[in-house]
Amino acid sequence: MTAVSSQPKIAKPKVVDQLMLIDGKWCHSVSGKMFDTVNPATGQVICRVAEGDKEDINLAVAAARRAFETGPWSTMSAAERGRILYRLADLIEKNMLELAALESLDNGKPLADALAADLPLVIKCYRYYAGWADKNHGKTIPVEGDFFCYTRHEPVGVVGQIIPWNFPLLMQAWKWAPALATGCTMVLKPAEQTPLSALAVAKLAHEAGIPHGVINVVPGFGPTAGAALTSHMDVDKIAFTGETTTGQLIMEGAARSNLKRVTLELGGKSPNIVFSDADIDDAVEGSWFGLFFNQGQCCCAGSRLYVEDKVHDQFVEKMLAKVKAQKMGDPFDQGVTQGPQVSAGQRDRIMGFIDSGKAEGAHLLSGGGRPQGPGYFIEPTVFTGVEDHMRIAKYEIFGPVMNILKFKDADEVIRRGNNNFFGLAAAVWTRDINKALKVSNQLRAGTVWVNCYDVFDAAAPFGGFKMSGLGRELGEYALQNYTEVKTVYMALGK
Catalytic residue among 125, 184, 299, 300: 299
CB of 162 or CB of 196, closer to ligand NAI? 162
Contacts of ligand NAI in 270-299 (CB under 6 A):
299
Burial degree of 446 (CB within 10 A; 0-12, 13-18, 19+): buried
Q: How far apart are CA 241 and CA 265, in angstroms?
A: 5
Contacts of ligand NAI in 321-350 (CB under 6 A):
346, 349
Q: What's the distance, Cα to Cα, between the start and end of the chain in Å?
A: 59
The reply to whether 246 sits near ligand NAI by the rule CB under 6 A is: yes
User: Using the rule CB under 6 A, which residue among 114, 125, 187, 266 binds ligand NAI?
Assistant: 266
CB of 123 or CB of 266, closer to ligand NAI? 266
Catalytic residue among 265, 379, 396, 473: 265
Contacts of ligand NAI in 391-410 (CB under 6 A):
396, 398
For this structure, is 300 an active site residue? no
In degrees and rounded to multiples of 5, residue 420 shows phi and psi of -155, 150
Contacts of ligand NAI in 83-112 (CB under 6 A):
none
Closest CB 241 distance from ligand NAI, rounded Å: 5
Closest CB 320 distance from ligand NAI, rounded Å: 25
CB of 447 or CB of 483, closer to ligand NAI? 447
The reply to whether 226 sits near ligand NAI by the rule CB under 6 A is: yes
Give every CB contact of residue 288 below 8 A, 6+ residues apart in sequence: 319, 322, 323
User: Smallest Cα–Cα separation from 210: which of 380, 40, 91, 62?
Assistant: 91
The reply to whether 114 sits near ligand NAI by the rule CB under 6 A is: no
- With CB atoms as reference, the residue minimizing the distance to ligand NAI is 222
User: Using the rule CB under 6 A, which residue among 227, 362, 390, 458 binds ligand NAI?
Assistant: 227
Closest CB 335 distance from ligand NAI, rounded Å: 27
CB of 91 or CB of 170, closer to ligand NAI? 170
Q: Which stretch binds ligand NAI (CB under 6 A): 110-118, 260-268, 314-322, 440-448?
A: 260-268
Q: How far apart are CA 203 and CA 35, in angstroms?
A: 20
Closest CB 328 distance from ligand NAI, rounded Å: 19
Omega into 211 within 30° of 0, i.e. cis?
no
In degrees and rounded to multiples of 5, residue 355 shows phi and psi of -60, -40
For this structure, is 387 an active site residue? no
User: Smallest Cα–Cα separation from 262: which of 276, 252, 270?
Assistant: 252
Pairing of strands 140-141, 147-155: antiparallel
Binding mask 155-194 for ligand NAI (x = CB under 6 A): -------xxx-x----------------------x-xx--
User: Using the rule CB under 6 A, which residue among 108, 155, 157, 267 binds ligand NAI?
Assistant: 267
What distances in angstroms separate CA 22 from CA 57, 63, 185, 225, 246, one per listed residue?
A: 9, 7, 12, 14, 25
What distances in angstroms separate CA 168 from CA 176, 195, 407, 480, one per listed residue?
A: 12, 8, 36, 23
State the sign of the Cα–Cα–Cα–Cα dihedral 154, 158, 160, 161: positive
Inter-residue contact 363 to 405 (CB < 8 Å): no
CB of 308 or CB of 396, closer to ligand NAI? 396
What distances in angstroms separate CA 440 from CA 291, 432, 451, one per listed residue?
A: 19, 12, 11
Pairing of strands 363-366, 381-384: antiparallel
Q: Which residues bind ligand NAI (CB under 6 A)?
A: 162-164, 166, 189, 191-192, 221-223, 226-227, 230, 241-243, 246, 249-250, 265-267, 299, 346, 349, 396, 398
Active site residues per annotation:
265, 299
